A = this chain, B = another copy of it.
Amino acid sequence: MKTNPNIDDLAGRNSPVVRKFNEFLDSRGMRRTAERYAILDRIMSINGHFTIEELQQMIEEEGFRVSRSTVYNTVELLMEAKMLRRHVFEGMQAQYERITLPHTHLICTTCGKVKEVKDTNFAAFMNARRFNAFNTDHYSLYVYGTCSTCARKSKRTDQVTKVNKPKK
């Protein structure tokens, strides 16, 4: 859309991540557009989860304009490139996170907050685990419950006060 003279200005223009994406695009004969790198760049600076809308906002706050469709497109590409994962937690809109080390997701069913925790034992367990007639690509462990903040609140008020739940 707009000629972007500063693809090379990306924070991590020589990072393994950018190189991996380059290779992925090349392997498919796809173009290296400014939008794609702007999105990749922003994603790589996010730790934890984000929604499509949040991602688009962050990018535009930096003064770079992208359409919602392009965000969806690129995010899809990054998933195919195995650099990004989508999670659909109970009762919320899809959230994305970069693929890093495997970890467990703790989801508070009261406030909707999601927290990642490392779990070496579990990772080891899954690493060794094979399923019959099934070839594992990846896995997700979602643990639903109540975070300590919400537990405290509900004790204090002695009534369930649902706050900040992303989607009704």
Which residues of A from 110 to 152 have beta carbons under 8 Å from B?
115, 117, 121-122, 125, 129, 131-148, 151
Closest B residue, CB atoms, query A147: B134
Contact of A139 among B117, B135, B141 (CB under 8 A): B141
Residues of B close to A142: CB separation below 8 A: 139-142
| B117:A133 contact, CB within 8 angstroms | no
Does A136 lie within 8 Å of B145, measured CB to CB?
Answer: yes
Tell me, in angstroms, the Cα distance from A43 to B108 when the chains sit together: 27
Number of copies of this protein chain within its complex: 2
Compute how far the CA of A138 lies from the CA of B117 in the bound complex, rounded to whole angstroms: 16
List 24 contacting pairs A-B, 8 Å CB cutoff, sorted by A: A106-B134, A109-B137, A117-B132, A121-B125, A122-B129, A131-B145, A133-B147, A133-B148, A134-B143, A134-B145, A134-B146, A134-B147, A135-B146, A136-B144, A137-B144, A137-B145, A138-B143, A138-B145, A139-B143, A139-B144, A140-B141, A140-B142, A141-B141, A142-B142
Chain A positions within 8 Å of B, measured between CB atoms, are 86, 88-90, 104, 106, 108-109, 115, 117, 121-122, 125, 129, 131-148, 151
